Amino acid sequence: LTDCSAGRHEVRISLGPDPTNLQPLIRRSFDSPSPLQRINLINEIRNLSFPSAGEYSILIEVDDEPILATSMHVLG
């Protein structure tokens, strides 16, 4: 993440096979010292578990504002 204003924020990552019914998997607060500071989400995404192979929708939000909505194919 980049361009987060200085201060405390909340990130939420939601996931599911149905893009209209995503389940929140991660919700955590973080501090951004400045908009130039990068916030790394790789570890949060890397640790997600998938119940089965298939197409999944993922939504990443910061302070209830969507910053990424995409889908990915998970191989079994």
Residue 21 pLDDT exceeds 90: yes
Summarised one tens digit per residue, pLDDT across range 30-68 is: 998 888 878 777 777 777 778 889 999 999 999 999 999
61 assigned to some structural domain: yes
20 assigned to some structural domain: yes
For the chain, how far is it from start to end, CA to CA, in angstroms?
Answer: 29
Summarised one tens digit per residue, pLDDT across range 59-72 is: 999 999 999 999 99
2 assigned to some structural domain: no
36 assigned to some structural domain: yes
Q: What is the pTM of this model?
A: 0.81
Spatial strand order in the sheet of 7-16: 23-32, 7-16, 54-62, 65-74
pLDDT, residue 59, reads 94
1 assigned to some structural domain: no
Residue 16, domain extent: 7-74
32 assigned to some structural domain: yes
> How many structural domains is the chain composed of?
1
24 assigned to some structural domain: yes
